[in-house]
């Protein structure tokens, strides 16, 4: 009787152990399947996307290649062949070199974050096209943030290229702003909104043939590709800048090396065609090649 009772006591315990072992095996198998079909996103395997691939700009933006693909060994600017005409670099202003916002509309959190990160900034009073009750031009108060590396960028580029500013902004706003960021007068020429043209596809297009420069030695850097709609083979589409991204390093690590490389090219359009494929980009947006190839390309 005692033996029977003892066996009855031990049997349920053995069954529980067996069930626990089976449950452990099933759990292990399930976790393995999860790892197989849903890989872990832990920090050890996470690789941040390079800045130039982040969606920090409008959908129209075409990011530049990563800095690793453009930071190639380049000859010193002093070694530029004497028979090559000096490179002309046309630079956009807003969201390319600076980011500006009406002071009253600037979120305090963005300003504080940018200042804490070391972004250079200043206040600016600009003449508005609007009039007050007495017919006098209103004054707009604007806060301007310089893109990181701006002064070093301008200082280096002007050593091997002729700098031209071309903005769709009005002179009442852009003129005083450029006076602040270019106290050394490194821009040989400044062009404002009246110098842009309207086309059937976009307004405020920058026709760089109006500069009367050799287009084989002319490039335009702009965060809005439609700005160089008429000369797509001369355009460098850059990532838009704003104070919300104070760690931006595009000027010195991406654009400057590319401009140095282009300064060594007999015709910049060949390299830019291979790099950005802008004609195809415009055609994919319904703008035929005949539009920009019918002229303004010499």
Structure tokens at 210: 């109006």
* Per-residue pLDDT tens over the stretch 98-137: 999 999 999 999 999 999 999 999 999 988 878 778 878 8
Indicate whether 58 belongs to any domain.
no
293 or 235, greater pLDDT: 235
Residues 83 and 19 in one domain: no
Residues 182 and 256 in one domain: yes
Residue 3: domain span: 1-47
Please state the rounded mean pLDDT for residues 258-284. 96
User: What percent of the chain has pLDDT above 90?
Assistant: 63
The edge-to-edge listing of strands for the beta sheet with 235-237 is 187-191, 161-166, 87-91, 218-222, 235-237
Task: Choose the catalytic residue: 79, 83, 94, 248.
Answer: 94
Beta carbons of 265 and 271 less than 8 angstroms apart: yes
Examine the residue annotation and report whether 79 is marked as an active-site residue of this protein. Answer: no
Q: What is the dihedral of CA 125, 127, 133, 134, to 10 degrees?
A: 100
Q: What is the CA radius of gyration of the chain?
A: 29
Q: Show the CA angle centred on residue 185, arms to residues 183 and 187, nearest 5°.
A: 125
Beta carbons of 232 and 273 less than 8 angstroms apart: no
Residues 145 and 228 in one domain: yes
Residues 27 and 67 in one domain: no
pLDDT of amino acid 82: 64
Comparing 45-59, 169-183, 186-200, 239-253, the range with the smallest average pLDDT is 45-59
3-state secondary structure of 166: strand
The DSSP letter of residue 1 is -
pLDDT greater than 70 at residue 51 = no
pLDDT of amino acid 147: 98
Comparing 84-93, 97-106, 135-144, 217-226, the range with the smallest average pLDDT is 135-144
3-state secondary structure of 259: helix
Residues 22 and 117 in one domain: no
Residues 72 and 33 in one domain: no
The edge-to-edge listing of strands for the beta sheet with 98-102 is 98-102, 137-146, 121-131
In degrees rounded to 5, what are phi and psi of residue 203?
-100, 165
* CATH number of the domain where residue 83 is located: 3.40.50.1000
**Which residue's structure tokens are 């600009």?**
126
- For residue 116, the surrounding DSSP H or E stretch is helix 108-116
Structure tokens at 158: 């002007």
pLDDT greater than 80 at residue 37 = no
Residues 149 and 282 in one domain: yes
Structure tokens at 81: 């062949």
Closest to 275 measured CA to CA, from 38, 14, 19, 69 = 69
pLDDT greater than 90 at residue 238 = yes
CA distances from 10 to 13, 22, 67, 182 (A): 5, 19, 70, 90
Residues 27 and 164 in one domain: no
Indicate whether 121 belongs to any domain.
yes
Examine the residue annotation and report whether 92 is marked as an active-site residue of this protein. Answer: yes
To the question of pTM greater than 0.85 for the whole model, the response is no
* Per-residue pLDDT tens over the stretch 221-230: 999 999 999 9
What is the rounded distance in angstroms from the CA atom of residue 172 to the CA atom of residue 143?
A: 15
Task: Choose the catalytic residue: 92, 162, 222, 248.
Answer: 92
Residues 40 and 124 in one domain: no
Residues 19 and 120 in one domain: no
């Amino acid at each position: 009787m005692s033996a029977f009772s003892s066996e009855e006591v031990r049997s349920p315990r053995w069954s529980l152990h067996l069930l626990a072992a089976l449950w452990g095996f099933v759990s292990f198998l399930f976790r393995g399947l999860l790892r197989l079909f849903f890989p872990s996103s832990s920090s050890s395997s996470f690789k941040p996307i390079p800045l130039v691939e982040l969606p920090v700009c409008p959908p129209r933006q075409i990011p530049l290649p990563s800095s690793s693909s453009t930071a190639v060994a380049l000859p010193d600017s002093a070694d530029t062949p004497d028979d090559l005409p000096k490179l002309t670099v046309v630079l956009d202003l807003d969201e390319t070199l600076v980011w500006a916002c009406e002071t009253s509309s600037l979120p305090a959190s963005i300003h504080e974050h940018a200042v804490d990160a070391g972004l250079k900034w200043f206040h600016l009073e600009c003449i508005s096209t609007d009039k007050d009750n007495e017919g006098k031009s209103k004054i707009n108060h604007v806060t301007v943030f310089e893109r990181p590396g701006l002064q070093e960028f301008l200082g280096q580029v002007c050593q091997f290229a002729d700098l031209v500013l071309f903005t769709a902004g009005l002179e009442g706003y852009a003129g005083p702003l450029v006076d602040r960021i270019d106290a050394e007068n490194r821009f040989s020429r400044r062009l404002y909104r009246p110098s842009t043209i309207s086309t059937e596809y976009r307004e405020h297009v920058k026709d760089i043939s109006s500069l009367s420069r050799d287009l084989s030695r002319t490039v335009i850097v702009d965060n809005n590709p439609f700005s160089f709609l008429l000369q797509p083979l001369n355009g460098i589409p850059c990532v838009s800048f704003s104070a919300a991204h104070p760690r931006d390093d595009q000027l010195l690590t991406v654009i400057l090396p590319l401009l140095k490389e282009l300064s060594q090219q007999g015709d910049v359009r060949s390299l830019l065609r291979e790099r950005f494929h802008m004609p195809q980009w415009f055609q994919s947006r319904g703008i035929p090649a005949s539009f920009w190839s019918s002229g303004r390309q010499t």
